[in-house]
Amino acid sequence: MPPPRRALVTSLLRLRSFSSIAYPHPYPPAPLRRHQFVADPTTSTNRGVVGGIGGVGSGNGNILDPTQLLRDDPVAITASLWVSSFRAAASTSGSCTPAPPQPLTPFLSRLELWVLAYQKAYADETGSYLPRSSIPASTLASLLTLRNAVLDGRFRFGNRLTPILQSPRAANAPDPATLSKRKLRALLTTPGPSPFQDRVVQELLLLLLEPVYEARFSPKSFAFRPGRSPHAAIRTIRRSFAPYLWYIKGDLSPLLHSPDHALVVGALIRDVRDKKVVDLIRSALLTPVVTASDDAAVKKKKTKRKYQKKKVLPEGEPKPDPYWLQTFFGFAPEEAQTQPDWGHCGVLSPLLANVCLDEFDKWMEERIKEFYKPSKSDVVGGDDGIEQGNTSWPEFVPTTGPDKTRKVDYIRYGGHFLIGVRGPRADAAVLRKQLVEFCDQRFRIKLDNESLPIEHITKGVMFLDHVLCRRVVYPTLRYTATGGKIISEKGVGTLLSVTASLKQCIKQFRKLEFLKGDREPDPQPCFRMFHATQSHTNSQMNKLLLTMAEWYRYADNRKKVVNFCSYIIRGSLAKLYAAKYKLRSRAKVYKIASRNLSRPLKDKKGQSPEYHNLLRMGLVDSIDGLQYTRMSMVPDPDYTPLPFGWRPDHEKILLEYIKLTDQQTLEEQRNCIREDGLITPQDNISMLVWGYKKNAVLLPSKVSDAQGSTEDLGSDTDELDEKELGNEGNQSFQKLAEMS
């Protein structure tokens, strides 16, 4: 049966739109040679060489002109690598023999990718985006020199003496060759950020390695991956972990803090057998990093409490994060606080951590298959492994029927993982024993029963600062019996309740010095905002509250926890304003500024015009009241179910594009067009309108023949539908199919 016509139209439109940024063939164009500076003038003209960069033309024939190498769009080159990686992974998903790894050295020699990596590093360094047309010619020449040094094996990480590419913020920095011995020794022994050229190389390696591994990573791993945020992990747990009784929590963070270099390189070689890329990463791992001595740390600690003047940022330095964002980062859950930083790997460190832990993901997937024992009489699980619950409510687990199915599921966020076991506790104990042996042999991490506790769902399991527990529900189940009769009856089942941990929220507030006391939380004034205006302070805290409400979006107790955060922040601001304006108590602050602190506190009554008059004249800033001062103002939790087989949007688009470029899919679409035609609703309406106008001209003018003319019109319209909509439509779309 051919697919629907509307689906075909949508597929063809997506294929056309994605083809504009990706190559139609699975392999990228042949790269230039390593030291090829001169390009064919006719080819460069046809393919649109970038000209006018730094005042250097593209057609002047200069053999040292790097603009001659900028032929293609770097986004298109990267898109071709994503498409080829996902196509190779899709072709080997059902076979036991993996596809040979794709060589990355041809991509490493493309100057377009080096320019894209420079733009990303420039944005991180300065906080602004630099268009390719604004890059100076001297910078392009330095990028070309850096590329040749990497390809020839002359590049070294952490080289501060002979920088090839200067940082945009240190363009006027003195040459290290002209420094004295004392300054040179301080340059080599003082810890600081990695050289700018190292960050460009790291960005380029990330551009090459990320598509290769994103196509191979397990769908059960989250963190440090595009589209797989903590919210996606929480929604996956709510959808898939409802029927599990026993839970095992584990921590592999020691691997993220101190990695084994041989382990990282060994895991890298399995999928990337490109010598230049592997040697670059091995050099980044083995090159020692300059660290501060103990004496310098003690000296810095003693001189820390001096009077600090207002800091003036140098020209070009990005502004620090605002206060509300710094405060929100303090609420990061324990699983998200560990950010790997491996020496000179920089932005590559999170990807390499996932590369090492991917072996653990694959091992757990094998254990899931091993422990799966379905039962036909059970409502959860079947011969095909698909749950038999309500498709519109996948979190609901009916309690009818014997509980015989044994299942195991797994999810990992960074270095922390969560395993759910459905069955007896003995299965969880066996799995824990195998887990301890695997981590000891493969990762050399010592785990024991205390570090891998087996917890029952009724006691509550905390993951990502959300508590997982079970609650019993009695929904009304409706189904259609034989004969079309709809039957409604009361059902009994369980749901996985995902609630935000209020205890953990209080702990984070206490760590940020917003609270004091263990039993009854007492808000403390946030003196960081003492010199800010009331309008600025309220706006900062409103942004914090809006971000907190978004973070707890999928928690069942979203209203309660966000209202509690609003109470703490409102009390903290009231104490701050009481100390700032000498009002002695929070009650006086609330009396003047109202419940949401939206009225001004600076002007006293009778000494100045009314606040509204000043606001109308533009003499004062408007003061926004605090959000969520009442629980009814907090939005409801988001219970939107996550579909089975969920993937991020970019992966779905890539897989659909690969399917559409498949020859078998294209042949099916052509056959469908030849047989049935492809008529959109707009074409159908235009043909009907044209047929009506064509037949309306032939209508007789006599009123007596109106009935007969109407019959003739109907017959003509029927003939028109058969002829024009059938034969002519088929002929036109046969031509379209032949052209495609």
Is the residue at 471 inside a domain?
A: yes
DSSP 355-421: HHHHHHHHHHHHHHHHH-B--TTSSS--TTS---S-TTSTT-EE--S----BEEEEEEETTEEEEEE
Residues 335 and 465 in one domain: yes
pLDDT at 615: 61
Rounded Cα distance, 491 and 477, in Å:
6
Residues 607 and 559 in one domain: yes
Joined together, the tokens standing for residue 590 give 């609330």
What's 221's DSSP letter?
Answer: E
Residues 456 and 597 in one domain: no
Is the residue at 692 inside a domain?
A: no
Residues 84 and 181 in one domain: yes
Residues 6+ apart with CB under 8 A from 690: none
Residues 523 and 449 in one domain: no
User: How many domains, in total, are found in the chain?
Assistant: 3
Is the residue at 507 inside a domain?
A: no
pLDDT at 13: 39
Last residue of a domain, one of 606, 633, 660: 633
pLDDT at 641: 83
Long-range contacts of 362-370 (CB under 8 A, 24+ apart): 362/218, 363/438, 364/220, 364/410, 364/412, 364/417, 364/419, 365/218, 365/220, 365/410, 367/408, 367/410, 367/431, 367/434, 368/407, 368/408, 368/409, 368/410
Last residue of a domain, one of 633, 667, 702: 633
Is the residue at 661 inside a domain?
A: no
pTM for this one? 0.77
Residues 475 and 582 in one domain: no
Is the residue at 736 inside a domain?
A: no
Is the residue at 639 inside a domain?
A: no
pLDDT at 114: 94
Joined together, the tokens standing for residue 78 give 């990267």
Is the residue at 674 inside a domain?
A: no
Rounded Cα distance, 323 and 306, in Å:
22
Is the residue at 385 inside a domain?
A: no
CB-based burial of residue 526 (10 Å sphere; 0-12 exposed, 13-18 middle, 19+ buried)? Answer: buried
pLDDT at 704: 45
Joined together, the tokens standing for residue 59 give 């057609």
Residues 477 and 537 in one domain: no
Last residue of a domain, one of 500, 531, 548: 500
Residues 255 and 188 in one domain: no
pLDDT at 611: 58
Provide the residue range defining the domain that includes 451. Answer: 218-289+320-375+401-500
Residues 83 and 170 in one domain: yes
Residues 550 and 626 in one domain: yes
Ranges of the chain whose pLDDT falls below 70: 1-65, 93-99, 171-181, 183, 186-188, 291-319, 377-396, 398-403, 479, 483, 518-519, 602-621, 677-680, 696-740
Residues 242 and 355 in one domain: yes
Rounded Cα distance, 380 and 245, in Å:
13
pLDDT at 339: 83
Residues 329 and 414 in one domain: yes
